[in-house]
Chain A
Amino acid sequence: MAQARALGRAAWARGNAAEFVQTHVVTIAGGLLFLLLAVFLLWPISAVLVKGVYGPEGFTWRFYERFFTAYYYRSFLNTLLLGVLTTSVCTTAGFCIAYLTTRGPRPLRSPLKWLTLLPLIAPPYIFALSIIMLFGRRGFITQLFNLDVQIFGFTGVVIAQTLAFLPLAYLIIENMLTSLDSSLEDSAANLGASEGKILRTITLPLLVPGFLKGSLIVYVMAVSEFGNVAILAGRTPFLAPDIYTIVTGIETDFHMAGTLSVFLLLPVAIIFLVQNYFYKDRGYVTISGKPSYADPRRIGWLILIPMMIVASVAVALVVLSFAVVAIGGFTRIVGIDNTFTLAHIVDWRANHALISSLKVSLLAGLAGAALGILIAYVVVRGRFRGRAAVEGLCLAGFAVPGTVLGIGYLLAFNSPPLLLTGTMIILVLNSVFRFAAVGMEAGMTKLQQLSIEVEEASRNLGASTPTTFRRVVLPIIFPAAMYGFIYVFMTTMVSLSAVVFLTSPAYPLVAVFIFQWAQYGYIGLASATTVKVIAIVAVCLAVIQAMSRWTGFSITRRD
């Protein structure tokens, strides 16, 4: 690389611009990507932060004063508690299930895994709908057992958010458990440690980075994806719905929204820093020997049974929720008029929104995957200063609560030079920059496995950097790009937190539709539309799976 730089400098001296670009193409690409990330992430986020301390009169703390004197600080404390509760329950359940699917009884593994992942294809607030239909005042279970439960408030919100984000926690922890060298646990067993002792002294400590990463993601989702929260909160105030009300209500107040956003962002920033600076060099990705095809050690009953209980409760609730939403979509008014109807499913109002959601999601998926892979390449292979900044900025887009980024886009792109509000572009861009990090992470993993010598061989044979990228690198990291595409596509189809601020009558999004209907109490319509969304996402996944022979990417197989 030093050689390349010297060559580049020589080319510059000779005034040969084409040659200069040739030798510095990765660095130049890195610069351009940084510029893009700065415009579409740094700027909007800064805009939100600035709003909170910059009123019409100039710099001021008065919005922060109001935050602590009005009821808003209670929203903050509630949100904090919601985040902590959801994250703890979610990672605990996620761990139990991941432990069972990697070390538990073989016949259980696969079904348990797929049932746990089921919520990924549905909008997160499917659980608000199902909880109302199951445990609401006229809910199926409430009436069946004549219960007197109060689901509006913390209980309902925590249950709904836990179920909604269980797949994320599960996937991250399962990934860590799989890559954990099983000979470590074997070795502890060989030294005489009991199953419980191994879990406590080896497995759990080694999973700390995974828990932190999972916690960060679940926390962000739990506090910012506010569909469930807004529908189930009742009188309990939370930050994200408050921000929504402040921005979309009668007296729009971006300054107060900016202040509240800071408090939504603060805990996230702290976890992000802890994860990246305290645990970065403690990633225990152990040198895995040959994969052990040997019998798994048996899990003792004392550990198996509690884990099975946790897993069964979680999975039962997921299955029940999907069932009840399917029923709700074909019932006139659940709990009051339980007669079959096709009225909700044929309702035409959602179809326009469905189509525009599909368009936005496909575009965002393609662009998000491409951006993620490009950033991954530049970060792994580039040798310029500021690589870490490009990576960090991209990750920040993922870690910043969607609510904050939604408002940021509204503030940043509401006026020239980039007037984008009300267009489809702003919806696509928002999703692309929020979720590109997923493709980036997948791409980085692939690239780190691919030895640089393979690329050098290609260059040595006369290929230019772009040719090498196209002919050698791209085929190898294509599965990562597919993964990025699927994630961005699915999440854009169902996510609410950011786009709720950005949709316009010309480009309505189905997620926003369902959310508003559920809020107004049209549970049947909301359920029927949810069923349609699930069906579309499922069909898309099936198509991708059917193409796996050509794409090299299979949903059922992990690389």
Chain B
Amino acid sequence: MGNGAMLVIHDVHKSFGHVGALRGVSADIDKGELISFLGPSGCGKTTLMRIICGLTKPDAGEIILEGRVINDVPPDRRGIQMCFQNYALFPHLTVTGNISYGLQVHRWRKDNIRARVEELLHLVQLGGLGDRRIDEISGGQQQRVALARALALAPKVLLLDEPLSNLDANLRVHMRATLREIQRKVNITTIFVTHDQVEAMTMSDRLVVMNQGVVEQVGSPVEIYEKPRNEFVAKFIGYVNILAGVVKDTSDASGSAVIDTELGEAEIALGGSRLSRGEKIYVIIRPEAIRLEIRKSAGPMNFFAGSIRSVMYAGSTVKYTVDVGGKDLIVDEYDPTTHGIRRMGERVVAEIPRSVHILRASSGAPAEGG
């Protein structure tokens, strides 16, 4: 990263009227990586993509490709290709016509075009469909035509704007793997835009989480999931159990602290965080890290008695809402076929793990590193 980055987005601002779509966005993208821009709709992802490929001008900030500022380079000279959300396939042309469009515009020789199209059709596994009309192929195939068309001119950077959002659930999961495979094969630097955190996590080398025109966090899927930087990232990435608490006691010897949470007292591992007594924090707990057991009463610390308020069976997991003294905890249990499914109203004791993620309440910033 840093100076070695292939594409640098530096402090980009853009507003439409009074609406600030982007408010100082920066990110570095390395050569050959697949980086996802993740955020709720309206967070400015699409606007950023349009700015990167030159269809929209930023109000301020720079786009730097291979060390060169390309703000004033027209879209067709940037070597950055965009795949539109609705594919934007030309409906009056065939599959081949679509893929070869850019090549024809750049006046490639006929036999070169034919060879290149053949190669691309093979790459996206559409061999033999070149003569089909766009409305004669399926949604997944249209998606791959759009990809082939964007790859035809061998761009330096590929932008994929919510490429899977128009596909149905099963196909979407299948296309994730296909897209990733093609991206690795061509080794093309790719920016992937999505609002689906599972999609972003499974496909990307790194993630950029955006919200309301600013970058909230950049990191690998593991970093983002295990150490969300603030409440927004934590919630967006799928955490549902966020407990407010006050540090009651810390012990450097055992590397742990006692927190007075909404549920009661819990002992947690500090794991490098430095907390001082009386500090207000948030404790963030993954649903799959909480264990449920049937006991008569709450034990020492970390064990809280409650009752099952709702049961959602999803095959490989069951999602329970556990009412602990008026506060809801979401708990995932795996393999219900083996372990059985709990009943509504059943009394349980929830065990909060010692290793959790901690956010400082005041700044919303993570508590590690001081």
Chain A positions within 8 Å of B, measured between CB atoms, are 181, 183-184, 186-194, 197, 201-202, 205-206, 282, 284, 286-290, 293-295, 297
Contacts and interface: CB of A to CB of B under 8 A. Distances in A.
Given A205-B92, A293-B16, A294-B47, A190 B82 contact: yes
Contacts of B152: 191
Interface size class of B (residues with CB under 8 A): 20 to 34
Give the 10 A-B residue pairs with the shortest CB-CB distance, closest first: A191-B102, A192-B76, A183-B88, A289-B86, A187-B88, A284-B91, A183-B84, A193-B105, A294-B56, A205-B92
A181 B56 contact: no
Nearest to A295: B56
A190 B105 contact: no
Contacts of B86: 181, 183, 286-289
A186 B88 contact: yes
Contacts of B47: 294
Given A186-B55, A293-B16, A294-B55, A191 B105 contact: yes
Given A183-B86, A197-B105, A294-B47, A191 B76 contact: yes
Nearest to A208: B92
B101 interface: yes
Given A186-B55, A197-B105, A294-B50, A284 B82 contact: no
A294 B59 CA distance: 13
A205 B166 CA distance: 26
B81 interface: yes
A202 B91 CA distance: 9
Contacts of A201: 101
A230 B344 CA distance: 86
Contact of B84 (A186, A205, A293): A186
B81 A184 contact: no
B55 A192 contact: no
A153 B47 CA distance: 56
Nearest to A183: B88
A189 B84 contact: no
Contacts of A194: 76, 105
A303 to B, nearest CB: 16
Contact of A289 (B77, B85, B106): B85
Which one of A190, A192, A293 has the highest number of Cβ atoms from chain B below 10 Å of its Cβ?
Answer: A190
Given A189-B76, A286-B86, A294-B50, 9 more contacts: A183-B88, A186-B55, A188-B101, A189-B75, A191-B153, A193-B101, A287-B86, A293-B16, A295-B57
Contacts of A181: 86, 88
Nearest to A294: B56
B92 A206 contact: yes
A192 B102 contact: yes
A192 B105 contact: yes
A191 B53 CA distance: 10
B105 A297 contact: no
6 contacts: A190-B75, A190-B76, A191-B81, A193-B105, A206-B90, A293-B16
B91 A193 contact: no
A297 B50 CA distance: 12
Nearest to B78: A190
Contacts of A184: 88, 90
B55 A190 contact: yes
Interface in B279-306: none
A289 B162 CA distance: 11
Contacts of A188: 90, 101, 105
A206 B86 CA distance: 17
Given A190-B75, A192-B76, A192-B106, A286 B91 contact: yes
Contacts of A293: 16
A293 B85 CA distance: 15
Contacts of B77: 192
Which one of A206, A289, A290, A297 has the highest number of Cβ atoms from chain B below 10 Å of its Cβ?
Answer: A289
Contacts of A189: 55, 75-76
Contacts of A282: 92
B16 A190 contact: no
Contacts of A286: 86, 91
A191 B88 contact: no
B149 interface: yes
Given A181-B86, A192-B153, A288-B86, A297 B101 contact: no
Contacts of A205: 92
A190 B52 CA distance: 11
A184 B82 CA distance: 12
Contact of A202 (B54, B56, B90, B149): B90
A289 B89 CA distance: 12
Contacts of A193: 76, 101-102, 105
A273 B133 CA distance: 23
Contacts of B81: 190-191
A288 B75 CA distance: 22
B13 to A, nearest CB: 15
A188 B102 CA distance: 8
Contact of A206 (B84, B91, B106): B91
A397 to B, nearest CB: 31
A456 B24 CA distance: 49
Nearest to B85: A289
Which one of B55, B57, B84 has the highest number of Cβ atoms from chain A below 10 Å of its Cβ?
Answer: B55
B105 A284 contact: no
Contacts of B85: 183, 289-290
Contacts of B84: 183, 186-187, 289
Contacts of B57: 295
Given A183-B84, A289-B85, A190 B53 contact: yes
Contacts of A190: 53-55, 75-76, 81-82
Contacts of A295: 56-57
A286 B87 CA distance: 11
A297 B76 CA distance: 13
B55 A297 contact: yes
Contacts of A287: 86, 166
Which one of B77, B84, B88 has the highest number of Cβ atoms from chain A below 10 Å of its Cβ?
Answer: B88
Contacts of B82: 186-187, 190
A288 B166 CA distance: 12
A193 to B, nearest CB: 5
A293 B14 CA distance: 12
Nearest to A201: B101
A196 to B, nearest CB: 11
A194 B101 CA distance: 12
A141 to B, nearest CB: 44
